[in-house]
Structure formats: structure tokens, C-alpha cells
Structure 1
């Protein structure tokens, strides 16, 4: 056999490089013989997985995120707060539903509680279950009695405030909420809190009168400038209602003659306008 066909005895022995490779000892490739494979301080071989020791607790921390990461005392407080919020939300939704739903045994029995919860902050101006749309054009008109500087009293003509709002909205891409709803909602509020004799029903009836009176007086002062010619002492409000004609294909017959609802004269007080009669 040729001398190059086998390794010498010194190379194959336990102390040789080949023996070291077989035993996995020092000198084997990739087994920590270089400086980069030494442990801390470079004094010995690195321990496998020692660089991941700092990440061992990461999964546990991720599992304890949110409420689970709080102490038992704070978890109890947070759970109680969430329960209170959920209970209040459920009560609120129930009250609003009863105020909008058709009259039933529950809404009749707890009518005062429902009204006390909903009005005035959460009032809804629509009805549930296929409401009947308004089929009338309602115009609110006002006239005033002015006390002149010489002491004479004169009465103005009727001013159609609804027509002024309609003219401001017509062609306006972004009409204000006040122009669209303030006067209309105020008059609807007054109509639902007054009887056929135009007398207020309950505390809300008196409040609706004051609300409408403030609106019309401020509008007269701003738009008509009546306070510059004297002092507004009294105002009178009426509505003009006309039914919307049915379409040509309908057999329904309705009157298109205007109907008026005229309220008595109201005395304007100074705390309402700052310029009324005292």
C-alpha cells in the first residue's frame, strides 16, 4: 500500500487531529475554537441558547397584557367600572326605545320615568315603525306692538318667519341648523304642550311659550329692526297651515284652504330681550 493511501499512526491516534474530530474535542470545525464562540469574557466555550435567556419571559408577559396584567384589586375595580357602564348604556337604550315605540303597557306604566330620563337632552324627533310623514306646510307668523319714543302704541303687520327661513335655505348648499329647525321645532313643541284652547298643559307648556316668545322677539329685533323705532312691548304669534295637494293619480281629496291658529298676545319682559317692557 502506498504511504499516501492511509494516515500515519500519529495522525489517527487519540492525540491526533483525526482522533480529536472523532471525539468532538478541541480542534473540531465549528465547535467553539474561535474567539467568537467563547463564553462571556472569552474564557470558555459559549453555552448553547444562552443568548435567548432574556427572551424567556416575553411570551408570559404577552399573555398578561390588558386586564390580566393588573393586580387582582385593580382587575376588580376595572371590571366593576365596565359593568356600570354597560348597565347605564342598557338602561339608556331601553328608555329611548320606550319613548319612540308605540304606546304599550310598559311605556304607560313608567311614562314619568321615561320622560324624566329622555327629556330634554335625549329627545328624538321621529317615531318608530313606519312614521306617517308630514303632509302640511306650516308657517309661523308674528306681529308686535311697539311703544314709540313719544309714548304712542302701534301694531305692526304679520311677518312670516318661516318664509324667511325658507328663503335662506333655498339654494344654500350648507344651511345652518338654526335656519332649518329652530323655529319649526319650537312651534311643534308649543303645539304638543298646549290644548285646543291655547292654554299650556303643565310646566313644559309654560316653558314652550317662553321659548317661542324669545325666538320671535329676537328675530323681530334682528331682521326688522323694530327696537330701533321703539320698544317691543307685546307680540302675537299665529300659524298658517296648508295641506299638501295629493298627486294627480290619487283619488284623495283634501282642502287646500289655509287654517290659522292664533295665540293671545304675550307681554315681553326685559329679561327675555334686554329691551322689552319692564
Structure 2
């Protein structure tokens, strides 16, 4: 039997012009290079101090903090021995509002949810850790160049939860506090300690309309 000719579709075979191939190749190189730089910066931010991370510390910090901060460790950390919650209250021309437990809101959103969001689990907690690591707990003065950034980051997260008004009047101030309580001993333990919360109350921060820019 004579060889059968292959069946050809009516669609013409696609060919890329040299300029199109050059654009695609350039785009691929840019994307791969950007990904490599970003992953490299994340690695340097968590790696032990070395000559490269020290030389480019400002650039690495500018890219990583605060949105992409990493908190992983090579070995498993010690289990938590304290429960820390973050409360906030705001002020307007109508007076001061009541304390609102933002951590309790996150716990309620996560509990029973088979697919809890990363923001509900970590955004507020990491923002407080960021503030705590960049401030003196005695007088709340910032330590290092990232202190003011930590304040703005924590304040904007709280304002996003509360909204721009209190009883119909624009918010003019906000105050944050943490409540730290020891995790209670298990029922089988003979040890006992106080689980009463210890509060760390921050000073009032002024609030203006610009603090809500970009918040949804």
C-alpha cells in the first residue's frame, strides 16, 4: 500500500517574527532576573550576617520590610509560652472609644475556617512583633531606622480595621496596647502560675486623612 500522507489541518502553522521572539526572550529574562533578585534578597534577610548582606543591608531592608518579612528558622522554635493580644481604641471630637480586641477578631475568623487567610493568621501578629523588636519597651522610643516604619505599619493596620470615623466624627487619634498572659499549665501539671494579662500601653498617635490613603 502506498504511504498515506499525513492529515494536515486547515490552520496555518504559527510562526513568530524575530522582533516578537526578541520581546518574549527579553520579557522572560526580566521576569527570571527579578525573581532571582527577590528570592536572593529574602535569603539574605534571614541568613546569618555576612559581607554581602552587610554591604547591601539598606537595599535588602527596603525590599523585604515590612510586607515580605520572613520569620522562618532552620530548626523548630520553642513553643509559645505566652498569649499576646493587640487592642486598639480611637479618639474623635465625640470622645474616646472603647478598646477593641483586634486579635480576637482574627481568632474568630480563623477558628473553624478550613482555609483561613494568611492575613488573619499573621498580619497583625507580625506587625506587633515588628514594632516590639524596633522599640524600647520602657519609653516606646524607636530603635534603629525601622522604628518609625513599624509605627506607621501597625497604625495603618489598626485604622483599616476600625475605619475613618467614630460616632460620625473623623478619627483624630489612635492608641494601641498589648495584653500578654502566660499560657496556663496543663491539667496534669503540678506547677501553677498567674495567667492575669500584663498590659503594655503605647502613647496616642495622631491620625489624619492621609493615614487612610490606600486603605480599603
TM-score, length-scaled by structure 2: 0.68
How far does the alpha carbon of each residue in 1:25-51 deviate from its partner, in whole angstroms, 9 at most, with x for none?
A: xxxxxxxxxxxxxxxxxxxxxxxxxxx
SS of corresponding position for 2:127: helix
2:154 matched to 1:212? yes
- Residue 227 of structure 1 deviates from its aligned partner by 5.4
Q: Who is 2:185 aligned against? A: 246
- Residue 160 of structure 1 deviates from its aligned partner by 0.8
Q: Who is 2:70 aligned against? A: 124
Distance change in 2, residues 1:89/1:163 (3 Å): closer
TM-score, length-scaled by structure 1: 0.55
CA distance in 2: counterparts of 1:105 and 1:254, whole angstroms: 45
2:158 matched to 1:226? no
Asked whether the equivalents of residues 221 and 227 of structure 1 are also in contact (C-alpha less than 8 Å), the reply is no
Of the candidates 189, 207, 211, which is equivalent to residue 268 of structure 1?
207
Cα RMSD, aligned residues only: 4.2
- Residue 109 of structure 1 deviates from its aligned partner by 8.4
- Residue 253 of structure 1 deviates from its aligned partner by 5.4
Alignment of 1:40-119 (within 5 A): 96-97=42-43, 99-101=45-47, 115=61, 118-119=64-65
Distance change in 2, residues 1:272/1:112 (3 Å): closer
Higher gyration radius (CA):
1
The answer for unaligned runs of 5 or more in structure 2 is 1-30
Greater mean alpha carbon deviation, residues 167-176 or residues 252-261:
252-261
CA distance in 2: counterparts of 1:264 and 1:127, whole angstroms: 33
Alignment of 1:147-162 (within 5 A): 147-148=93-94, 154-162=95-103
- Residue 102 of structure 1 deviates from its aligned partner by 5.7
CA distance in 2: counterparts of 1:105 and 1:249, whole angstroms: 50
Q: Aligned residues, how many?
A: 201
- Residue 206 of structure 1 deviates from its aligned partner by 0.7
Q: Which has the higher strand share?
A: 2
Distance change in 2, residues 1:253/1:94 (3 Å): farther
CA distance in 2: counterparts of 1:213 and 1:86, whole angstroms: 35
